[in-house]
Amino acid sequence: MPGIDKLPIEETFEDSPQTRSLLGVFEEDAAAISNYSQKLFQAMNRIYDAQNELSAATHLTSKLLKEYEKQRFPLCSDDEVMSSTLQHFAKVIDELSSCHAVLSTQLADAMMFPITQFKERDLKEILTLKEVFQIASDDHDMAINRYSRLSKRRDNEKVKGEVMEDVYTSRKKHHQTMMHYFLALNTLQYKKKIAILEPLLGYMQAQISFFKLGSENLTQQWEDFLTNIGTSVQNVRREMDGEVDVMQQTIQDLEQASDLLYMPDPDPSQVPVNRNLTRKAGYLNRRKVAILQADSRKDCEEWIATINNISKRIYLSENPEEIAARVNQSALEAVTPSPSFQQRHESMRPSTQGRSRAARTSSVSSAGSETASPALSVLSLDSLVAPDTPIQFDIISPVSEEYAGQAKAAGQGRTNPFGESGDTPPEASEDSILHQLFIVRFLGSMEVKNADSSDVIYETMRQILAARAIHNIFRMTESHLLVTCECLKLIDPQTQVTRLRFPLSSVVVCSSHQENKRLFGFVLQTAEGRVDGRPVTVCYIFESNNDGEKICDSVGLAKQIAFHSEMDRKATEKKEEQDKAKEKQQEELSKQKQIEKDLEEQSRLIAASSRPTPPAPSADGQFLVLSKSQSEDSEAGVEGREKGESEA
């Protein structure tokens, strides 16, 4: 091939400086070829990777389009036209994916294989021969240097022969390596043209085949289909633009109409309060644990009225707004005029005067008893709660200084209005198996008529919450509820003084609210009776920080533990009685056996005394004959001994 430079292989034996200089030029050219080939390989490999990714992405797109009809969108009904259109797209894209896969295979065979082979085989061969040639050249130079320094004396013939042999071997190896190295460098001048042109030729042939395959698959039918889809997209875009214009106009109208509502506390004369709502959506700010704050006076009163209407279950009727208006009107006629918004919030602050908690509690309770019943009697259940029943909204506990002073002046131990003694009994709960503490807030209590089911608790909750909403009572007494196997205690969180103590045996029913799980209550049946002898049944309602069901489960667990403890105590007492009876029976048997043994011993002695006494032998073996007096003395001694044994 004309224009190809070559290294003269016939000059490799002389290894002249001119040959070495020309070799350096060829080595520099080989390094440039290697560097350029590496960049070309990276570029073509990038094309190949991109084609593989395109093929995989196209296949995934086709797969997702086929699965569209299986999707269930919350805001989209079954659209057969959309599903059919996407199925058509999935079909043509799947065919394109197959074409891309064929193109990837052709690129791997026709483009990547030649450039990879040139990079991994030919260029590595040049580098290997270069290293081998350098080693052979160094060995040849060392052998020549040793031969040049060799001594000319005859006694060194043996060493001279070894050095000459070394020169011969190194020169032969150097010559052969140099010739093969020159051959590889000369061949590289041809291979570099092939390595560049052949991958490009394969790339173009693969692209031409791909475009021919695409033109065969994309017929006029697909072009008409794409035209129709484009028209549909333009129609949807025009419809969207029209809807956007309408919504923007709506936003402008709402901004103008809501200008008065942007103020945090609008004027009630311009924005009146709607007290007949049975549904209201919005946000309330949280202040501490039990206080919610609205943005304005109007929102506050509407929230209170809405919650009050919901608590009366007005929303379940056919015409809730009309019933809500009638109930609220009757409530406004029954109660005293409500204080202003500022006065109500001032009443929620701590009092600066020296009013006692007992006086404040009694006034709240009396207000509830006088004014709450007429408004609540509209939806109350007479079978569960007695009509005109007063509601206790606070706890009268020994923490109150005034109450403590009155009790001290009377010279009596403290009592509470719920009929339970305030003193802690000797069987305190410190040794109880169960000892659980909960943070609760007292909402109220009232006397009930029936304590057979949890319905009485739900009805009491409804009446107490409605009464609090009507009378704007927001303050709640926070306590620690201690659940043990003996009792329930309400403990003051600051002074740790027991406010109330309920024996566990008097708790009849305990249940939480069905919807608001933080509300729970229990029914207490006291042993003391009224004039008619009927036991007093009171329902207490609380709000907890935790789940009310957990507290009720804890109370139920305490009752179970107490029941099993009582059964174990009775079983232990019965076993002790049986053990005592067995011990007594054993004692009786022992006495009887002792009496029988004494009788047997006495009978034996009597039988022994009734037999005649043989004469006593003398020292020489003869019998002695006793006189009459000696015989009587002997009999008397035997009788005395028997008498003494019997007495013993």
pLDDT digits (tens, 9 = 90+) for 500-525: 888 888 898 899 988 888 899 999 88
What's the chain's Rg over C-alpha atoms?
57
Do the strands 391-392 and 291-293 form a parallel or antiparallel pair, or are they unpaired?
Answer: unpaired
Axis-axis angle for helices 123-148, 17-66 (nearest 10): 160
Q: Classify residue 205: in a domain, yes or no.
A: yes
Axis-axis angle for helices 157-217, 17-66 (nearest 10): 30
Dist. CA 230–CA 217, nearest whole Å = 20
Closest C-alpha among 123, 129, 128 to residue 37? 123
Dist. CA 423–CA 418, nearest whole Å = 14
Dist. CA 484–CA 429, nearest whole Å = 6
Q: Classify residue 228: in a domain, yes or no.
A: yes
Beta-bridge mates of residue 542: 442, 520
Closest C-alpha among 408, 390, 389 to residue 398? 408
The HSE-up count of residue 503 (CA atoms within 13 Å, CB side) is 11
3-class SS of residue 623: strand
pLDDT value, residue 47: 92
Chain-centre distance of CA 418, in angstroms? 42
Whichever domain contains 181, its CATH number is: 1.20.1270.60
Q: What residues contact residue 366 under an 8 Å CB cut-off, 6+ apart?
A: 390
Q: Classify residue 296: in a domain, yes or no.
A: no
Which residue stretches of the chain have pLDDT < 50? 334-380, 398-430, 531, 618-632, 634, 636, 638, 643-648
Q: Classify residue 519: in a domain, yes or no.
A: yes
Q: Do residues 175 and 137 lie in contact, with contact meaning Cβ atoms separated by under 8 Å? A: no
Please spell the DSSP secondary structure of 348-391, one letter per residue.
Answer: TSPPSS---HHHHHHHHHHHIIIIIHHHHTTT--TTTS-TT--E
Q: Classify residue 416: in a domain, yes or no.
A: no
How far are the Cα atoms of 67, 354, 397 from residue 406, in angstroms, in the given order? 81, 16, 12
Among 550, 569, 588, the domain-final residue is: 569
Domain count of the fold of the chain = 2
Q: Do residues 486 and 427 lie in contact, with contact meaning Cβ atoms separated by under 8 Å? A: yes
Tell me which long-range contacts 611-620 makes (C-beta under 8 A, separation of at least 24).
Answer: none
pLDDT value, residue 619: 46
Number of H helices, E strands in the chain: 15, 10
Cα angle, residue 92 at apex, residues 89 and 96 outer, rounded to 5° = 130
Write out the two tokens for 642.
């028997």
pLDDT value, residue 48: 92
Among 252, 273, 290, the domain-final residue is: 252
The letter for the amino acid at 152 is: K
Whichever domain contains 564, its CATH number is: 2.30.29.30
Among 538, 554, 569, the domain-final residue is: 569
3-class SS of residue 292: strand
Q: Classify residue 65: in a domain, yes or no.
A: yes
Dihedral of the alpha carbons of 423, 428, 434, 440, in degrees to the nearest 10: 20
Closest C-alpha among 541, 327, 339 to residue 454? 541
Q: Classify residue 322: in a domain, yes or no.
A: no
Beta-bridge mates of residue 293: 285
Beta-bridge mates of residue 121: none
Closest C-alpha among 458, 546, 545, 470 to residue 509? 458
Domain that holds residue 51: 9-252
3-class SS of residue 9: helix
Q: Classify residue 611: in a domain, yes or no.
A: no
pTM for the full predicted model: 0.37
pLDDT value, residue 399: 38
